[in-house]
């Protein structure tokens, strides 16, 4: 039982970067000052858009140069975010972030390019992880054989990652990230998909390769939004031998008794913005879940009866992970400790990454980005320390 002892990291998808110089500028302007204020070792959780991976791999020594640039800033990297393929800071991202999907060669090739880069910059003795889209988005139309094709692409990637391990000595694992309204969103759906993936891999005598290299990225707030018991969810994944290769340390917005809290709903309406998707779910007293694909101002101010009568709303809006509240709005931070407690019970240690990418669209309590990121990391370090200490005391007693 352990939590990762690798340097904590935050995901650099919070920084707009479509070129290598822009990636490096983000590290210089933000990550290095954050590391100094944080006062501990810090890794870079890199997001490399397709345009960036193409630029790096277009030069014979492009990966070496990236490793040198990281070293020059006293940074390491053991995880990449390969979920956003294109410009994650365009005026409108929303459902486009799920493209290309896992039935396409574009997604397969981009992900393997990320793996090639990560294998070349990993510190000696460390394994790498790469988070990716949960196959596709439920609001899109797909061919009847979509799932079979996607499974084929994932098995092909597992073979490529196994060959990459043989070539470089570095293990790189894929982490599929369930998300509300995606083809994989609940723990039930994730388990059902992996059962099919494992069955087909077994038929092809590739189960070992698939289990070694294909797992999930457990984004805590995503499962909180689904009103799942996060501790039980993590235990179920372990019981099914589905490896959690990465944990996104995240929090979402929560509002209790929304129907009688017009002032809170008015504040929530200010969080509506045109760039990112803000899936919203409500749970009533009977435990029934109501779902909305994207929050609007009109919906927040005048919700239909089934939402207005709910006990609680949860909104997919990544808010600072150190915050119990953002202004008057609650957060799902209470689930974060439960999830990390459950992760601590695993027989291995997934990578841990803070992923709050919404800093520049937050309407309330805007703070300096370096200061905000540092506060998140310090609070996360403290939370992880308290979990380790509690476990140590339990063993002693």
232-255: pLDDT as tens digits: 999 999 999 999 999 999 999 999
Beta strands at 214-219 and 289-292: parallel, antiparallel or unpaired: unpaired
200-212: pLDDT as tens digits: 999 999 999 999 9
CA distances from 350 to 135, 151, 197, 343 (A): 21, 23, 21, 8
Taking alpha carbons only, the member of 216, 266, 271 closest to residue 238 is: 216
Report how far residue 167's alpha carbon sits from residue 119's, in angstroms, rounded to the nearest whole number: 10
Instruction: Give residue 397's pLDDT band: very low, low, confident or very high (50, 70, 90).
Output: low
> For the residues 62-91, what does the mean pLDDT come to?
98
Q: Which two tokens stand for residue 145?
A: 């054989």
392, pLDDT greater than 90? no
Report how far residue 209's alpha carbon sits from residue 244's, in angstroms, rounded to the nearest whole number: 15
Q: What is the pLDDT of residue 288?
A: 98
What is the percent of the chain with per-residue pLDDT over 70, rounded to a whole number? 98
User: How many beta carbons lie within 10 A of that of residue 368, not counting itself?
Assistant: 10
pLDDT, the chain, mean: 97
Spell out the CATH class of 8-251+334-371: alpha beta
Q: What is the pLDDT of residue 367?
A: 86
Q: Check: CB of residue 246 under 8 Å from CB of residue 358.
A: no
372 phi, psi to nearest 5 deg: -65, -45
1, pLDDT greater than 70? no
109, pLDDT greater than 70? yes
215, pLDDT greater than 80? yes
- How far is CA 242 from its chain centroid? 17
Q: What is the pLDDT of residue 390?
A: 81
116-168: pLDDT as tens digits: 999 999 998 899 999 999 999 999 999 999 999 999 999 999 999 999 999 99
Report how far residue 65's alpha carbon sits from residue 50's, in angstroms, rounded to the nearest whole number: 18
Q: What is the pLDDT of residue 391?
A: 73
Taking alpha carbons only, the member of 302, 283, 294, 171 closest to residue 226 is: 283
Side-chain-side CA neighbours of residue 319 (13 Å) = 28
Instruction: Give residue 393's pLDDT band: very low, low, confident or very high (50, 70, 90).
Output: low
396, pLDDT greater than 70? no
Q: Which two tokens stand for residue 252?
A: 């979402």
Report how far residue 213's alpha carbon sits from residue 114's, in angstroms, rounded to the nearest whole number: 14
Taking alpha carbons only, the member of 265, 359, 276, 361 closest to residue 316 is: 276
Taking alpha carbons only, the member of 321, 316, 225 closest to residue 275 is: 316
Dihedral (CA of 36, 41, 47, 53) sign: positive
User: How many beta carbons lie within 10 A of that of residue 50, not counting itself?
Assistant: 20
CA distances from 52 to 16, 27, 31, 55 (A): 12, 14, 18, 5
Side-chain-side CA neighbours of residue 226 (13 Å) = 20
Dihedral (CA of 344, 350, 351, 353) sign: negative
Q: In terms of C-beta density within 10 A (0-12 exposed, 13-18 middle, 19 or more buried), how is residue 61 classed?
A: exposed
Q: What is the pLDDT of residue 291?
A: 98
User: How many beta carbons lie within 10 A of that of residue 318, not counting itself?
Assistant: 25
Beta strands at 312-319 and 251-256: parallel, antiparallel or unpaired: antiparallel
Report how far residue 342's alpha carbon sits from residue 209's, in angstroms, rounded to the nearest whole number: 26
> For the residues 252-259, what does the mean pLDDT come to?
97
Torsion angle of alpha carbons 47, 50, 51, 54, nearest 10°? 110
Beta bridge partner(s), residue 329 = 326
Q: What is the pLDDT of residue 125?
A: 86
365, pLDDT greater than 70? no
Report how far residue 110's alpha carbon sits from residue 57's, in angstroms, rounded to the nearest whole number: 11
Helices (H) and strands (E) in the chain, counts: 15, 14
12, pLDDT greater than 80? yes
Q: What is the pLDDT of residue 88?
A: 98
What is the percent of the chain with per-residue pLDDT over 90, rounded to a whole number? 96
Where in the chain are the domains?
Answer: 8-251+334-371
SS3 372: helix
> For the residues 171-200, what does the mean pLDDT come to?
98
Beta bridge partner(s), residue 70 = none
Q: Check: CB of residue 372 under 8 Å from CB of residue 359.
A: yes
326-363: pLDDT as tens digits: 999 999 999 999 999 999 999 999 999 999 999 999 99
Q: What is the pLDDT of residue 394?
A: 63
């Amino acid at each position: 039982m352990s939590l990762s002892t690798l340097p904590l990291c935050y995901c650099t998808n919070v920084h707009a970067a479509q070129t290598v110089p822009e990636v490096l500028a983000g590290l210089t302007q933000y990550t290095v000052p954050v590391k100094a204020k944080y006062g501990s070792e810090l890794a870079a959780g890199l997001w490399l858009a397709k345009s960036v991976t193409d630029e790096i791999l277009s030069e014979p020594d492009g990966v070496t140069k990236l490793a040198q640039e990281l070293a020059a800033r006293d940074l390491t990297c053991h995880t990449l975010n390969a979920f956003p393929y294109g410009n994650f800071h365009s005026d409108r991202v929303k459902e486009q972030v799920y493209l290309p999907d896992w039935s396409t060669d574009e997604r397969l090739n981009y992900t393997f390019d990320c793996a090639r880069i990560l294998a070349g910059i990993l510190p000696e003795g460390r394994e790498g992880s790469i988070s990716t889209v949960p196959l596709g988005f439920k609001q899109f139309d797909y061919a009847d054989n979509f799932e079979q094709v996607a499974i084929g692409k994932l098995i092909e990637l597992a073979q490529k990652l196994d060959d990459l391990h043989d070539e470089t000595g570095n293990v790189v694992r894929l982490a599929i990230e369930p998300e509300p309204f995606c083809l994989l969103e609940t723990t039930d759906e994730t388990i059902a998909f992996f059962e099919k993936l494992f069955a087909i891999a077994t038929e092809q005598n590739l189960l070992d390769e698939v289990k070694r290299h294909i797992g999930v990225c457990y984004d805590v707030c995503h499962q909180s939004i689904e009103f799942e018991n996060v501790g039980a969810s993590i235990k179920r994944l372990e019981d099914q031998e589905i490896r959690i290769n990465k944990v996104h340390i995240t929090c979402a917005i929560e509002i209790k008794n929304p129907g009688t809290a017009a002032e809170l709903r008015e504040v929530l309406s200010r969080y509506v913005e045109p760039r990112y998707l803000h899936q919203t779910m409500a749970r009533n007293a009977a435990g029934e879940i109501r779902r909305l694909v994207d929050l609007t101002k009109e919906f927040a101010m005048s919700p239909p009866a089934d939402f207005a009568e709910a006990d609680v709303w949860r909104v997919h809006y990544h808010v600072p992970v150190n915050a119990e509240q953002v202004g008057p709005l609650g957060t799902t931070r209470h689930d974060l400790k439960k999830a990390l407690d459950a992760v601590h019970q695993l027989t291995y240690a997934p990578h841990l990454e803070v992923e709050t990418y919404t800093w520049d669209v937050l309407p309330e309590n805007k703070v300096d980005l370096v200061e905000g990121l540092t506060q998140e990391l310090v609070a996360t370090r403290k939370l992880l320390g308290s979990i380790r200490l509690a476990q140590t005391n339990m063993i002693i007693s």
